[in-house]
Structure 1
Amino acid sequence: MLDLVVPSRRFSSIPWHKQASKKETQDSVAPLTFRSDGTFQISIFEDLHFGENAWDTWGPQQDINSVRVINTVLDAEPAIDLVVLNGDLITGENTFLENSTHYLDQIIAPLLAHNLTWASTYGNHDSDFNLSRSALLAREQQHPSSRTINMLPNTTAGVTNYYLPVHPHGCPSCAPALLLWFFDSRGGFAFQESTSSGARVGQPNWVDASVATWFRDTNAALVAANDGQPIPALAFVHIPTNASLALQERGVDKHRQPGINDDVPLARQAQGWCPDGTDDGGCEYGGQDGALMEAVAGTEGLVAVFSGHDHGDSWCYRWDGPVEGMAVEGQGVCLCFGQRSGYGGYGSWIRGARQISLTLGEDEGVQVDTFVRLESGDVVGAVRLNETYGRDSYPATPNDKTRCPTCVY
């Protein structure tokens, strides 16, 4: 059996199962657990894009606007148990080498002020000539409230590949009632590397096949240690897979899959790469995300995968059965977008953050409800990700825009 690597680097109580990691530190935070009423809430901020145009007056203003969005959402949601920063925290191509990771401090300041803990994935803009993924992770880990770790020694596969267990209330040493998986979809450009002509060196923009294998093997070991019972799970990855594009092309119904659907076609993993791994601009899609799609489709208990990257999409789609043009068949997992949170990056869609409200039932199943809290304070797109999602009818999500005199659209 695969040796379990329990992410206990900062966990203060006895980790689940006997194969606990010995990487605990004194600046530990408690293991994640459901509340006494059986609930657990996650708030997802994505595509914040801090550090954009740092040399202009409007650039820092966008960061101020983004901090305002974070505070507005956190003030409106007092029961958050975990914040997820789901990629493109920083616009790396606009940063300076000497201060590129310092933008993280601006992002997490509101989280610290609200006494919240968080976990991150990194996006394609979190890597560039002046911004290192590894340095960003090291900056995060200076803060005891960060749960972001790297469970794979293969750094070429990215640095935010890990899982976090969420235990039943009052029993942090019990088997987890929920698993949270985090995958690094990479992308962007290599840190301090350039070609002979001085051009930046592109990085693969898909979840590496080794990560998909690790996910399947690790989940199988966790299930075996749980007496063979599948464990409910959610996953987070910045760039969506080709399955999301295939579902979008099938048709997004504003009442069956409520949310904005303005990024058409959406940008997916392995876009712009060739099957042989080259990115010379001659190919539309390389297909290298196939390993992750197979792992996602074949993981019993995985309820939903949450992505960002496409600022103009905020819907969830239940991937069930065959989809035209797809070799992999879905088994009911929901593929979801969040809500673009930051004022950096493209588009004028109203900012906000997707919320995930989980309820642990008496049968140890997990009910997953999700909605978007907008910077206006309004709630839109509230749905339940159950077996009838995709057939149930919900109110359509208004396609509102942010109107701000200091914003760039």
Structure 2
Amino acid sequence: MLSFVLLAACLVGPSQQAAVGSRQVDNANLPPLKFNANGKFQITVFSDMHFGMYSWLPRGQKEDKKTSKVMNDILDYERPDLVVMNGDLINGDGTFAHNSTHYIDQIVKPMVDRKLTWASTYGNHDHQLNLPAEGVFEREHLWPGSRTRRMVPGLAAGVSNYYLPVYPATCDNEEKCTPEVLLWFFDSRGGYYHSSVEKTRTPQPNWVDASVVEWFKKTNAELKCRYRKIIPSLAFVHIPINATDAVQKYWDPQRNPGINDEVGVAMQGQGWCPEGKHDWPRCKYGGQDVPFMQALSKTKGMMGLFYGHDHGNTWCYKWNGDISGMPITGNGMNLCFGQHTGYGGYGDWIRGARELIISQDKLKDRVFESHMRLETGEVVGSIVLNATYNRDVYPTTPNQKTYL
């Protein structure tokens, strides 16, 4: 099968992808992120685009065009201040070494065309035999507007670990301003280690690495000391944490509006044994994300963690309780799935994006809003993530499907 795929790749080539611009790009000196004059900051979160699936077939090109249309339409509806691409940008296990990263050109085009800025996390399908996440990162930065960073060195850390501050609209010099919000991004890795030899598929750990957890705790403490205050935060990672699986049994369609079609969350540490060996299905969960969960639950001001990975789940839950058998207690952080964006990947749930609307005047109460913007233009799942979320009643989200 692999030899057939490689042969097909030689015939297909990268002709369907946009050409990289020849102009100089300096993403290291982008202007700081700021709230607008009305005190609002909006984020569009695309999840699981899966560009390049079936790349050797006409179907694959049709899927990618449909996904691009979803992204274009949603950006025209919402006009956000920042776009987050929350993992599985490329379906790397269906692409090829000579053109895998080239799909980035097509992926970022909707933002580049609108002069929007974006930030990425990488998912398990962005870490593959034919697709190095480092290459995805480098390709992103051939285009103006990428804020994706790599702040933690080392192969084990993954790539997309960093933070971005968001300043008030009145800030003229970020060196002299205090951020209103911190946005944290984490690489949950997974998939397979990249190999130029293309012979052995070696599974890569599918959790946020311990070195990244230590960096996060240290950096957050330094920022608290520097600014002499607790800054409200949001975090993004592709693969959900175990706490999401623990709270899923409490999901209520009116108190946690969204689709809940995948019972048994595919979480960090799934398929790994406690001693660190990959052995699925014998080992269901190895507990390797416990340090990450502990760090998040002890972070004051952490308002929400957003992820994708499970295409058939789109709900949020305010995590306040204990996790059975683990020394972890939730701190009121909201755990939220996104909306499957891509026509690649499994499932036919309607495509869309999660929108986050942050208001400066509500940050003191750790309150923000969210909704799903669907490819049809419809808005569903509008919620206020406040102290009474999980108890407030909302309209049920319809479970809709769309097809190629």
In the alignment, the residues of structure 2 paired with residue 349 and residue 26 of structure 1 have an alpha-carbon distance, to the nearest angstrom, of: 35
TM-superposed CA distance for 1:210, in Å, is 1.3
Alignment pair present for 1:47 and 2:48? yes
TM-superposed CA distance for 1:43, in Å, is 0.1
1:191 to 187, 190, 194: 194
Alignment pair present for 1:101 and 2:89? no
TM-superposed CA distance for 1:127, in Å, is 1.1
In the alignment, the residues of structure 1 paired with residue 363 and residue 230 of structure 2 have an alpha-carbon distance, to the nearest angstrom, of: 13
Q: Which amino acid aligns with 1:180?
A: L
Instruction: Please list the CA deviations of residues 144-176 of structure 1 after superposition, one character each: whole Å capped at 9, or x if unmatched.
Output: 310001001123210000000001112142011
TM-superposed CA distance for 1:252, in Å, is 0.6
TM-superposed CA distance for 1:27, in Å, is 6.5
Given the superposition, is the C-alpha separation of residues 26 and 53 from structure 1 closer, same or farther in structure 2, using an over 3 Å criterion? closer
- Matched-pair contact (CA < 8 Å) for 1:193–1:200: no
Alignment pair present for 1:258 and 2:261? no
Q: Which amino acid aligns with 1:255?
A: Q
The equivalent of 2:30 in structure 1 is: 29
- The percentage of aligned residue pairs carrying the same residue is 51
Instruction: Please list the CA deviations of residues 361-409 of structure 1 after superposition, one character each: whole Å capped at 9, or x if unmatched.
Output: 187555310000000110011111111111111111111111x3xx2xx
- Matched-pair contact (CA < 8 Å) for 2:188–2:207: yes
In the alignment, the residues of structure 1 paired with residue 68 and residue 185 of structure 2 have an alpha-carbon distance, to the nearest angstrom, of: 24
Secondary structure of 2:164's partner?
strand
The equivalent of 1:269 in structure 2 is: 268
Secondary structure of 1:245's partner?
helix
Instruction: Please list the CA deviations of residues 180-201 of structure 1 after superposition, one character each: whole Å capped at 9, or x if unmatched.
Output: 0000000001111679xx4411
What TM-score do the two structures reach when normalised by structure 2?
A: 0.90
TM-superposed CA distance for 1:269, in Å, is 0.3
In the alignment, the residues of structure 2 paired with residue 203 and residue 363 of structure 1 have an alpha-carbon distance, to the nearest angstrom, of: 38
Secondary structure of 1:71's partner?
helix
Instruction: Please list the CA deviations of residues 328-387 of structure 1 after superposition, one character each: whole Å capped at 9, or x if unmatched.
Output: 110100000010000001111000000000000187555310000000110011111111
Q: Which moved more, 1:137-146 or 1:294-303?
A: 137-146
What TM-score do the two structures reach when normalised by structure 1?
A: 0.89
Secondary structure of 2:332's partner?
strand
1:107-186 alignment, distance < 5 Å:
107-171=107-171, 172-173=173-174, 174-186=177-189
In the alignment, the residues of structure 2 paired with residue 362 and residue 313 of structure 1 have an alpha-carbon distance, to the nearest angstrom, of: 28
- Matched-pair contact (CA < 8 Å) for 2:352–2:372: yes
Secondary structure of 2:401's partner?
coil
Given the superposition, is the C-alpha separation of residues 26 and 59 from structure 1 closer, same or farther in structure 2, using an over 3 Å criterion? closer
The equivalent of 1:12 in structure 2 is: none
In the alignment, the residues of structure 1 paired with residue 106 and residue 208 of structure 2 have an alpha-carbon distance, to the nearest angstrom, of: 28
Q: Which amino acid aligns with 2:185?
A: F
Q: Which amino acid aligns with 1:81?
A: D
TM-superposed CA distance for 1:26, in Å, is 7.8
Structure with more strand by fraction:
1
Q: Which amino acid aligns with 2:117?
A: T
1:365-384 alignment, distance < 5 Å:
367-384=367-384
The equivalent of 1:230 in structure 2 is: 230
- Matched-pair contact (CA < 8 Å) for 1:296–1:302: yes
Q: Which amino acid aligns with 2:208?
A: V
The equivalent of 1:292 in structure 2 is: 292
Long gaps (5+) in structure 2:
1-24
The equivalent of 2:21 in structure 1 is: none
TM-superposed CA distance for 1:327, in Å, is 2.9
State the aligned residue count: 376
Given the superposition, is the C-alpha separation of residues 58 and 202 from structure 1 closer, same or farther in structure 2, using an over 3 Å criterion? same
In the alignment, the residues of structure 2 paired with residue 107 and residue 25 of structure 1 have an alpha-carbon distance, to the nearest angstrom, of: 19
Structure with more helix by fraction:
2
Given the superposition, is the C-alpha separation of residues 25 and 52 from structure 1 closer, same or farther in structure 2, using an over 3 Å criterion? closer
Instruction: Please list the CA deviations of residues 292-346 of structure 1 after superposition, one character each: whole Å capped at 9, or x if unmatched.
Output: 0001100000000000000000000000022434431101000000100000011
Secondary structure of 1:142's partner?
coil
Given the superposition, is the C-alpha separation of residues 142 and 389 from structure 1 closer, same or farther in structure 2, using an over 3 Å criterion? same
Q: Which amino acid aligns with 1:90?
A: I
Q: Which amino acid aligns with 2:264?
A: P
Alignment pair present for 1:327 and 2:327? yes
Given the superposition, is the C-alpha separation of residues 194 and 288 from structure 1 closer, same or farther in structure 2, using an over 3 Å criterion? farther
Secondary structure of 2:235's partner?
strand
Given the superposition, is the C-alpha separation of residues 218 and 94 from structure 1 closer, same or farther in structure 2, using an over 3 Å criterion? same
- Matched-pair contact (CA < 8 Å) for 1:242–1:269: yes
The equivalent of 1:16 in structure 2 is: none
In the alignment, the residues of structure 2 paired with residue 100 and residue 265 of structure 1 have an alpha-carbon distance, to the nearest angstrom, of: 31
Given the superposition, is the C-alpha separation of residues 55 and 26 from structure 1 closer, same or farther in structure 2, using an over 3 Å criterion? closer
- Matched-pair contact (CA < 8 Å) for 1:359–1:366: no
In the alignment, the residues of structure 2 paired with residue 334 and residue 284 of structure 1 have an alpha-carbon distance, to the nearest angstrom, of: 25
